[in-house]
Amino acid sequence: MVKWFLTEPPHGHVEMYAVTIEPGGSTGPRQYRHGDSEEVILVTRGHVHVELGDEAYELGTGDSIVFASSTPHRVANTADEGAELVWVNSPPTPE
């Protein structure tokens, strides 16, 4: 997974990333949580599998999801092609 800031530090109330996840890539082997922010993921190309606690979602191009960063979460690309996302945290959270 590779991510680039689309907002320059200091971020103020919003931080935005462009994220690329290659086939088989993910945010990590397990779900994680951090801070107390709202997160938005918008899929701009490809497909991703999103785990939020005990729930799972399949998102494709044009799909989005909103969740609290305090919810355990994980994003994985289980498809055969790369996925591109726009990922927003508001307010910014420490990693």
- Each residue's pLDDT tens digit, 56-95: 999 999 999 999 999 999 999 999 999 999 999 999 876 5
pLDDT score of 95: 58
> What average pLDDT is seen over the chain?
93
pLDDT score of 83: 98
- 11, pLDDT greater than 70: no
Query: Domains of the chain by range and CATH?
Result: 2-90 (2.60.120.10)
Higher pLDDT, 9 or 14: 14
Rg (CA), the chain: 12
Nearest-angstrom CA–CA distance, 18 and 4 = 5
Secondary structure class of 34 (helix, strand, coil): coil
